[in-house]
Amino acid sequence: MSFAVIGGVFLNIGAYLTYKGKIYQAVIVYLFADICWIIMAYQRDDYIGSIFIVIGTTLGFLAYLKMRSGEMHKTLNKEDDDSFKV
């Protein structure tokens, strides 16, 4: 089984967790998928692709930390979104 397949499985699991509303768990699973794709790109000597995946993974991890600490105040409901109000 290749790292692309394993990353795809993690992607599907993350999408299911997102659908169920378990965002924190989904982000962690997405990060595991990204790690699989970094390894896959490195094995294929796609160093530019590896760099872009590492940057995206880093930004995703920082977003996870921001969500976990409670600094991200965004809701999916337009009625409940107070992020633009002062």
Per-residue pLDDT of 38-68, as tens digits, reads 888 888 888 888 888 888 888 888 877 887 7
Q: Which amino acid is at 42?
A: Y
Residue 9: the pLDDT is 93
Q: For the chain, which residues make up each domain, given as ranges?
A: 3-69
Tokens of 1: 């089984």
CB 41 within 8 A of CB 3: no
CB 3 within 8 A of CB 40: yes
Supply the angle between the helices 23-43 and 47-69 in degrees, to the nearest 10.
Answer: 160
Kindly report the pTM of this predicted structure.
Answer: 0.67
